[in-house]
Chains A and B, each alone.
Chain A
């Protein structure tokens, strides 16, 4: 496994994924399932939970780092919403990362980004991992 970074990983996100995440996370904010509510508050339509997008970044991160116990710190900024159309295809989120530093005590600092249609939806993403 190369230490140059986390290669781009593409995730498909559909309305069904959001409904499942509502139930699993307990976050039933209607902007994640009701088009009417989402547009009423000025959003382009139903959007993904920020924490769903962060969870996808977490999947890419743990796969790269070797497991949940390799992650020491993990942080993101939700810079833009991820609109999820009511189609079979949904939308796509692309997660990638760049190694910034490997410290003397064996920790790797990595910067992470996630994009949707080429625009950053997660910015200032950072993780510290102890690679296995």
Chain B
């Protein structure tokens, strides 16, 4: 069943704030093998010009992927998650995420389309601090593979 094209242009209310913890950044950095001290040591991070330990560039997906579940799990969209693969990912940054940030996500649907028997949806998540400072925007294109005939 194709995805509901009326989702294009929809937005959802901002999420509750996600408090970025120092240990979460360290855990993520260790998991991807990023050993530079600014990901682990607050003093080294401050010397490098950050307010606290800084997150690697793909860290925001921890927050944006769970936030965008409110779209992709909406039964009216009609997405069968067992057939979904991640197609594209993009981040545009105002500044890197640092420990201590309280981040609010707002989700949008930029595109829904069908091509070659597959369905595509592009979500956009705008990430701001609780006080409204823009931090980054993340786009994810998900592909629902066509059912085997």
Does B115 touch A at the CB level, under 8 Å?
A: no
The chain A residue sitting closest to B91, CB to CB, is A74
Q: CB-CB contacts of B19-34 with A at 8 A, as 1s and 0s? A: 0000000011011111
Q: Which of B52-74 contact A (CB under 8 A)?
A: 54-58, 61-62, 65-66
Q: Which of A20-28, A100-108, A113-121 contacts B (4 or more CB under 8 A)?
A: A20-28
Task: Identify which of B82, B91, B96, B139 contacts A69 (C-beta below 8 A).
Answer: B96
Does A44 touch B at the CB level, under 8 Å?
A: no
- Measured CB to CB, the closest approach of chain A to B136, in angstroms, equals 10
Main secondary structure of the interface of B (DSSP, over half): mixed
Does B149 touch A at the CB level, under 8 Å?
A: no
Residues from chain B with a CB closer than 8 A to the CB of A73 are 90-93
Among A42, A61, A76, which residue has the most Cβ atoms of chain B within 10 A? A76
Q: CB-CB contacts of A78-117 with B at 8 A, as 1s and 0s? A: 1000000000000000000000000000000000000000
What is the interface residue range for chain A against chain B? 20 to 34
Number of interface residues of B (CB under 8 A): 36
Number of A-B contacts (CB under 8 A): 103
User: Is there contact, CB below 8 Å, between B56 and A58?
Assistant: yes
The chain B residue sitting closest to A63, CB to CB, is B36
Does A59 touch B at the CB level, under 8 Å?
A: yes
Q: CB-CB contacts of A54-84 with B at 8 A, as 1s and 0s? A: 1110110111000111011111111000000
User: Is there contact, CB below 8 Å, between A59 and B32?
Assistant: yes
Does A50 touch B at the CB level, under 8 Å?
A: yes
Q: How far apart are the CA atoms of A120 and B45 in the complex, in Å?
A: 34
Q: How far apart are the CA atoms of A24 and B93 in the complex, in Å?
A: 21
Residues in B lying within 8 Å of A, measured CB to CB: 27-28, 30-34, 36, 38, 48-50, 54-58, 61-62, 65-66, 82-83, 85-93, 95-96, 139, 148
